[in-house]
Structure 1
Amino acid sequence: MAHVETAKPLSGLLNGLAQRVYYKNSDVTEELLRNEFYPEVSRDEFKALHEKMRGLLKAIAAADMDPAQLEAFLTAQTRRQGGGGVSADQAAALTRFWKSQRGQVRESLLAGSRWEPSLRGLTWRVDLQAASRGGAAPSGPVALMELELGGTGQDSEFVCLEFDEGKVTQVLKEMADIQRSVDGLVHSTQSF
């Protein structure tokens, strides 16, 4: 497979894989990458290279490897016997690619793990009603909360909530219950 290891085609393949896997560019297909960068290589040989590079990129990205981790990982890969390892040229291409694309790949993975729409902002206040002219007693404090919600690339949407004292107490109790549940999960996973 020595003839498929030149730097330019391999860099193109890695960038194409990133476009498809991390940047969700559906126009980039396996066939397009083969025709563009490795037209002289058989389909089977290209498929093997494509899958190997895709798997390596996924491992590197999933671990969000820093330069030292990447070097150790690729050194181990170059020492593997048989078809599972990488050549020094492939390791160098992967290093160059990761150095230039790590931030963008990381952002893409983070964006894909966020719930949409997300909470962009929160403002709140407590209003106290004064006695009215008719002598009616004030009804008690009212908490007003405004949530700013929005998805990536979308305008914000605002939701206004109004709580009386009983509802505020109920919300605080439910939040305390959630916190206890989260704490219990954290403590149980830390005991492993």
Structure 2
Amino acid sequence: MADVEATKSLSSLLNGIAQKMFYQNSEITEELLKDELFPELSQEDFRALHEKMKGLLKSIATADMDHAQLEAFLTAQTRKQGGVSAEQTAALARFWKNQRVRVRESLLAQSRWEPSLKALSWRVDLQAADSRGETSPSGPVAIMELELSRAGQDSEFLCLEFDEANVNQALRKMADIQDSIDRILHRP
């Protein structure tokens, strides 16, 4: 019976940590979790358990582990000095199996910028000859339409018009951004 209660308390702890860490539920506090789930533990022992479970959940969620990755990760954790117990491993596996999709969606929603780009369309307009057969000296024009959306709101549309010089400038800026990203990712 004690094992069943311990397993329930551990599962509830994982859910409480997820509520705070992934779902931004500010009502869940470390003190509440300790008082409700592990009143018999000292503050120091509870804090160690809480931090261990929080760190493991963060690692699992950050890697968005599938079943095989999770199994390998948890097996490695059980072999570490001060690692996780078989009971903790089972609770983590059960939690992740049930919550993976929801946690992933929450993390994705938190990482999106607002407004987000929902759609993009573009075209190039060429000036046709006038009735005398002469064309305008302005040259081709690129028209870009962006559909921007915010959660729970109607989309907004932004229409941009570029001449050849503006297109070239935008392409150079995008190349600069890509170079910056590449430098950051390939740092020694």
User: 2:186: which partner in 1?
Assistant: 189
User: 2:44: which partner in 1?
Assistant: 44
User: 1:20: which partner in 2?
Assistant: 20
Which runs of structure 2 are paired with 1:98-177 in the superposition (5 Å)? 98-130=96-128, 137-138=135-136, 139-177=138-176
Percent identity reads 66
Contact 1:4 1:41 in 2 (8 A): no
TM-score, normalising length: structure 2: 0.80
TM-score, normalising length: structure 1: 0.78
Give distance in 1, aligned partners of 2:83 and 2:5. Answer: 13
Change (3 A) 1:100 1:146: same
Change (3 A) 1:74 1:170: closer
Runs of 4+ in 1 over 6 A off after TM superposition: 2-5, 133-136
Give distance in 2, aligned partners of 1:15 and 1:135. Answer: 73
Give distance in 2, aligned partners of 1:111 and 1:150. Answer: 13
User: 2:62: which partner in 1?
Assistant: 62
AA in 1 matched with 2:156: E
How many residue pairs get aligned? The number is 186
Structure 1 spans left out of the alignment, 5+ residues:
none
Q: Mean Cα displacement is larger for which, 164-173 or 17-26? A: 164-173
1:131 deviation in Å? 5.1
